[in-house]
Structure 1
Amino acid sequence: MNTKLLESLFFILIFFTTEVNARNIEWLNGYIVNLSNDTITGILGYRNGEGDWQECLFKETISSASTIHYTPEEILSYGYENGLTYTSKKVDVPSFNKKVFVETLLIGTIDLSYLKIANCPEHPDGITFYIAETTSGRMLRLDEDKNLKTGKLTKQQNIAKLKFLFDQYPELTPKIENIKIERESLINLFKDFHKIICSDFTCMTYKEGKSSRRWWITPRIGGSINHFETNGWNPGCTVGGYTTTNLSKFTNRFVLNIGLDFNLSPSYPYIVGYECIKKGWSYIFTNFFSLESRSMNGSVRPFFEIGLHQNYIIAREYKVNNPAGYYNLGIMAGTGIYLHLKKCEFPVRLQYYYGRKADMFTLTIGYTFKLK
């Protein structure tokens, strides 16, 4: 079997699935508020920054053929049942001046919003920052300090801005000096400020709700082919499972998988330079960690994943009591589909494990249980 051909076909499939998911829109229950302040319920298209900031995609029902595109000039706000809310706002901060939809994190004496623009022709490098807005309409831009080269300077600038914003409230200074510019930390800081000026929170009219972490477990079974150094590709069977948890607060589109599988193959993995008989069994215990992106629409939902794996391989020759064992570490990638049928889900998963001592393909089908 041609190893290079197998690997090439697999990564072409990964690329195709990635492209499908990148263009995917997740349709969720939600509402819009029009210019007359009327609330209209329907189905909204969620894209995680891939256009949410410049338009709202609205359908009356999931089966509606037509999609209405609302701009920030045409509606006041829109939101999802899970608590994510976007507000039309003219953002006027350094290096950005435009009316857009911003994620509303907190509304009160000082509002807190978040703008996320993914890669697009207008902003090829993307933009992400938080916005603090006073009742007078003055805005402060708080940049995320993820860049290793400029992160320290950005953090110092953000601390200076927050100290200026809350200069009359010295009790907030210790928290400001140690703050990390991310969603929960900023919401907690602004919540503490409102608790100082009104202990009953009457001056805070909205705060983004918390969303608990979600967990799933998937037992699975299937087949495999493995390759031990120079002794070719050999068939086998696989049984195991993996747990999954969400990485996004509002959607299950991006998840982390942690898996453990057992593989049995009627082939003896021999090492070049060691004399042995090429007959026997191999037992492989594989632990993997992968990041996954999946489509969330329809009954057939493609996905792709990439991550790391480690496995322990036990090789036993026929009629030999002492098996040989060795450790293998490497990278892995996977693709496949979720068969989504009403309240149940069957993932069909093709995975490739690449390591220094062994390579392996597995094809499995499982059943997913929701734990929380």
Structure 2
Amino acid sequence: MVVQTTDVDRSDGEYRAWLKEAVRKVQADANRSADTHLLRFPLPEDWGIDLYLKDESTHPTGSLKHRLARSLFLYGLCNGWIRPGKPVIEASSGSTAVSEAYFAKLIGVPFVAVMARSTSRAKIELIEFHGGRCHLVDSPGEVYEVSARLAERTGGHYMDQFTYAERATDWRGNNNIAESIFAQLRLEPHPEPAWIVATAGTGGTSATIARYVHYLQHDTRICVADPESSCFFDGWVKSDPDATCATGSRIEGIGRPRMEPSFVPGAVDRMMKVPDAASIAAMRLLERAIDKKAGASTGTGLWSALRIVAEMKAAGQRGSVVTLICDPGDRYLDKYYADAWLAEQGIEIAPYLELMERFLDGSAPGLD
């Protein structure tokens, strides 16, 4: 008996040509982009401790999320999920959507960002500048379901950064952020940092850095700094994958109301809960120290990094600590840099600013 061979060929010459060109365009963007700078934060020389900030605000779309968006687009294209003429839809508080709108425009597909109404106007304008459309919802918790519904209704692709961020990036290297940090530290006094401090929105950055450190057997420890209204800290401490919190984070770009699939607790050595006032104070301190405005998520990481520096100093340890400049401060002039907004929110940053300044001039032993 002869069994009839079944052969289904779904290849399409026109689609494959489009796919090859789309992948080439995304890869070419990386090839055109120089690496981001590693800046030194001024500490007293006699401490023997160096503090660096990886300045991700210099990417073409102005934030750490440019790396993530590039990886997500390559992942979606190579999986056959992103198709010509069909929209890419993302649940995002802003910076990821800005970067994804850029890449969507680059390859010629529509882009829709689903985000909370509280997102800064500057970010919404940036998304629209890159050709994206913003779909606003009342609660940050709605973004997931609304994004999935929009994708189903339009035949588009829900990018879902909160699920795929930790797997879309090659954590073994391939010029990821961790490999870049270690390469740039190679000629520094302490080339293997004692700590790298990251903040978590999806959790993808902390997972990439931690996996790279473990893979190459470095002694570097990974700390994740979490803002007030976020569940990552509690979920990590209690080993609770179902942890949630009732309100959304006031620190845009980081903190989540639920434990996201891309947050990998087991890869992380330590977590810190950071008051919003400390985050914003540290952001303001950064401008005074190196004349650079950054967002409050950068302040969250800087506050935690300075606390680690204080612990190392008290223990007589020498070494280096690295944290990240996540995005530029000009997106938040009417928010974190506006004293009227701080007063409206009941946020008092003066005590934290004074404490950090006293620590840095040697008149306070630490930040506790």
**TM-score, L = length of structure 1:** 0.22
> Which structure's residues are more often helix, by fraction?
2
Flag the structure with larger Rg.
Answer: 1
Structure richer in strand, relative to its length: 1
Bigger RCO (CA 8 Å, 6+ sep): 2
